Amino acid sequence: MSAATLFGLCGAALVGLGLYGLIIHPQPLRKILAFNLIGSGVFLLFGVVARRGAAAGMSGDPVPQALVITGIVVAFSATALAVALLLRLFHITGQATLSPEGSKNARQKRTDSQ
Amino acid sequence: MTGSAVFSGSANGGGFLLVLAITLPTAGMLLSFALGGRLAARTALLLLPAGLGVAIAIAAGVWRTREPLVYYIGGWAPPLGLALRADGLSAAMLTTTAIVICATGLYGRAAFRIPAGVSEGRASLVFWVLLMAIWAAMNLVFLGDDLFNLYVALELLTFAAVPLVCLDGRAETLVAALRYLLFALLGSVLYLLGVALLYGGYGTLDIALLFGLVRAEPIALTAVGLMTAGLLAKTALFPLHLWLPPAHSGAPPAASAVLSGLVVKASFFLVIRLWFDVMPGLLNLAAAQVLSTLGAGAILVGSVLALRQPRLKLLIAYSTIAQIGYLFLMFPLAAGSASGSLVSNVALTGGMLQAISHAFAKAAMFMAAGLMAEALGHDRIAGLRGVGQLRPITVFAFGVAALSLVGLPLSGGFVAKWLLLTAAITAGQWWWALVMVLGGLLAGGYMLRVIAPALADADEPLIPRAPVARSREMIVLALALCSVLMGFLPLRPLGLLQIGRPNVSEASGR
């Protein structure tokens, strides 16, 4: 198995793991982490593409590498925005959950204590 | 070979307009952020007419020369450099976006006014900065000719749209924004995966170059499948629509107008680019039927849920889901016949006209709902009785926009749905026509739920909670009339939208 194939399979595995996590986990923080996992898999795939598409005598095609750098910046900003929203939500409600049941329980508790 | 024709073609006159269309709103965004306070609003309002002028100039240029405007960034032609390209579809969407953004800016001027004596409000600054950011990102989506460039544009659009959802900072809007962001991120990472596969397979991401290279082989099919799935999550097509109603109904009215009218159309526009411009050969009937079935599901589920909503803004948001469904009915109709044929063109024109008339109508509706809520202090549908006497122009504008959404004759929505209906019958796919008619009936039902009580007499005289300037009502009415007037120029968009279509040029070259 060549290095490119190995890394390609690793990338596919990362994307699969991340997709599973993003869909299965209800907690937003885990979803954000899962998104980053998929992102890493995709960036690895770009690396494999760069290696395979290299012209003779070159170690890599520079275009996918440029795309990966931009992609990392975008994924970083997305993560920062998501974490900022999550922190703000935690400050206001005291819990970091997306499910309507969570807020319903909180409302229930509030009415119970009144 | 189309690819070689693109190679030899150089940037043509008017290309600088494409750069202006992106740099003007970007400059507005940066200046608004740097100046802050009242100057932020003033800067944005100054740039609105300039941006509208640029969009109209681009549309006029495309219309006059009958060929797309192209600009090579830095003078480097693809595949080395990046191109900006405005064809008929881009020109139509650019103009629509400019008109809706201008109306939103004028409407938001009063909504986000900073009271005298207060230095600056966070919501007001964020609104003006992000309105300009959305405009810049939308224009980049319409003009970009490189799939990775378009990915960056989509992400910029998401980052500008998500904070608008939680502008007032309540917990439920934060949850809505976070859920929107997670759906959008899943969509964009799937799109990026498709981009990686396409680059690996063909070594270029330029749309015009890919058009000549892509074949129906596993790597292209996987890539386009992943990219389409990602874009559908961002467009909120059923069953990936769950994030839309809380996000669009929780935002302030001016923000909802932009989010519901424009932002979801950007990812839809990329689906069209992908299926019609990058790989028209891959648009086979089976795949298109899947898209269309999802669209039909969206029409029925969205309309039925809209009938059951207790709040006006939620009803309008669910109606957006239903109207997005219509957009995807055009795919099997365009695929069922030869590309570039009359039926295919009629279906594409119908779909684009639906996107444009819905943008005007939905923006008008959210703004009208905002004015009604300002007058009543709430937006419960059960409490709308008598608002027609309180705010006659607002309710009239809402009704006019509803005309177009329901698709009553002589409105933009009617012409759009009529074209789709004709294409469905001509292509022999009558079942989509049934869905459209049923969707129209349901739309009539949920719009009547709002208009009937609004026109009824109030049980007790209503006292407006806040005065509303006549000018804001007029802006809403103008947008609603735009949506209806689209119905009076059916032949002009038919010509404009076909400019620069690759399948048309190839068909004539054969």
- What ipTM is given for this predicted complex? 0.88
pLDDT confidence of residue B2: 40
Cα B193 to the center of its chain, rounded Å: 24
Contact list in A for residue B181 (CB cut-off 8 A) is 78, 81-82, 85
Contact list in A for residue B76 (CB cut-off 8 A) is none
Q: Does A54 touch chain B (CB under 8 A)?
A: no
Judged by CB atoms closer than 8 Å, whether chains meet at A35 and B166 is answered as no
The dihedral sign for the CA sequence B266, B274, B287, B283: positive
Which token pair is B213? 């290279």
Judged by CB atoms closer than 8 Å, whether chains meet at B169 and A39 is answered as no
Report DSSP state, residue B226. H
Q: How close B178 comes to chain A (CA, Å)?
A: 6
pLDDT confidence of residue B256: 92
Range of the domain at B474: 295-510
The owner of tokens 């009558």 is: B430
How far is residue B274's CA from residue B197's CA, in Å, rounded to a whole number? 14
Q: How many CA atoms lie within 13 A of B385 on its CB side?
A: 8
Residue A80 and residue B162 in contact, taking contact as beta carbons nearer than 8 Å? no
Q: Does A78 touch chain B (CB under 8 A)?
A: yes
How far is residue B392's CA from residue A35's CA, in Å, rounded to a whole number? 48
Of the candidates A63, A30, A114, A52, the one whose C-alpha atom is nearest the C-alpha of residue B219 is A52
DSSP assignment of A23-73, as one string?
Answer: HH--SHHHHHHHHHHHHHHHHHHHHHHHHHTPPTT-S--HHHHHHHHHHHH
- Taking CA–CA distances from A94, the nearest residue in chain B reads B171
Which token pair is B126? 């964020």
pLDDT confidence of residue B3: 40
Judged by CB atoms closer than 8 Å, whether chains meet at B193 and A53 is answered as no
The answer to whether residue B66 is domain-embedded is no
How far is residue B454's CA from residue B447's CA, in Å, rounded to a whole number? 11
Cα B325 to the center of its chain, rounded Å: 13
Q: Which residues of B touch A (CB under 8 A)?
A: 148, 151-152, 155, 158-159, 162-163, 166, 169-172, 174-175, 177-179, 181-182, 185-186, 188-189, 192-193, 195-197, 199-200, 203
| Alpha-helical runs (H) found in B377-485 | 387-390, 392-406, 412-426, 430-455, 470-485
Judged by CB atoms closer than 8 Å, whether chains meet at A53 and B203 is answered as yes
Residue B146, SS3 per DSSP: strand
**Helix, strand and coil percent figures for chain B, each rounded to 5:** 80, 5, 20
Q: How close B474 comes to chain A (CA, Å)?
A: 36
- Taking CA–CA distances from A40, the nearest residue in chain B reads B189
Best residue in A15, A20, A74 for a mutation probing chain B (most B CBs within 10 Å) = A74
The dihedral sign for the CA sequence B24, B30, B33, B38: negative
What's the mean pLDDT when you consider all of chain A?
Answer: 83
Class of domain A3-113: mainly alpha
Judged by CB atoms closer than 8 Å, whether chains meet at A81 and B175 is answered as no
State the average pLDDT over residues A86-103.
77
The answer to whether residue B347 is domain-embedded is yes
pLDDT confidence of residue B455: 85
Residue B171 is nearest to which of A22, A42, A89, comparing CB atoms?
A89
Contact list in A for residue B196 (CB cut-off 8 A) is 42, 45-46, 49, 64, 67
Q: Does A50 touch chain B (CB under 8 A)?
A: no
State how many domains chain B has.
1
The answer to whether residue B476 is domain-embedded is yes
Best residue in B82, B159, B182 for a mutation probing chain A (most A CBs within 10 Å) = B182
Judged by CB atoms closer than 8 Å, whether chains meet at A22 and B182 is answered as yes
How far is residue B68's CA from residue B15's CA, in Å, rounded to a whole number? 10
Task: Describe the crossing of helices B470-485 and B342-376 by its angle, rounded to 10 degrees.
Answer: 160
Of the candidates B251, B206, B232, the one whose C-alpha atom is nearest the C-alpha of residue B291 is B232
The answer to whether residue B88 is domain-embedded is no
Q: Does A105 touch chain B (CB under 8 A)?
A: no
Contact list in A for residue B179 (CB cut-off 8 A) is 98
Q: How close A39 comes to chain B (CA, Å)?
A: 6
Q: Print pLDDT tens along chain B (510 aa).
A: 344 334 334 456 678 889 999 999 999 999 988 887 788 888 888 999 999 999 999 988 888 888 888 888 888 888 788 889 888 889 999 999 999 999 999 998 887 877 776 666 778 888 999 999 999 999 999 999 899 999 999 999 999 999 999 888 888 889 999 999 999 999 999 999 999 999 988 888 888 888 888 887 888 888 989 999 999 999 989 888 888 998 888 888 999 999 999 999 999 999 998 888 887 766 677 788 888 999 999 999 999 999 998 999 999 999 999 999 999 988 888 776 655 566 777 888 888 889 999 999 999 999 999 988 888 888 888 888 888 888 888 899 999 999 888 888 888 888 888 888 888 888 888 888 899 999 999 999 999 988 888 888 877 777 777 777 788 889 999 999 988 888 887 555 557 777 777 654 443 333
The answer to whether residue B100 is domain-embedded is no
Q: How close A79 comes to chain B (CA, Å)?
A: 9
Residue B434 and residue B292 in contact, taking contact as beta carbons nearer than 8 Å? no
The answer to whether residue B133 is domain-embedded is no
Domain ranges of chain A: 3-113
Q: Which residues pair with B206 in a beta bridge?
A: B146
pLDDT confidence of residue A100: 59
The owner of tokens 């640029």 is: B54
How far is residue B349's CA from residue B13's CA, in Å, rounded to a whole number? 27
Query: Secondary structure of B40-67 in the HEC alphabet?
Result: HHHHHHHHHHHHHHHHHHHHHHHHHHCC
Residues 6+ apart with CB under 8 A from B279: B210, B211, B214, B220, B224
Judged by CB atoms closer than 8 Å, whether chains meet at A45 and B182 is answered as no
Of the candidates B346, B344, B306, the one whose C-alpha atom is nearest the C-alpha of residue B325 is B306
Residue A86 is nearest to which of B178, B185, B200, comparing CB atoms?
B178
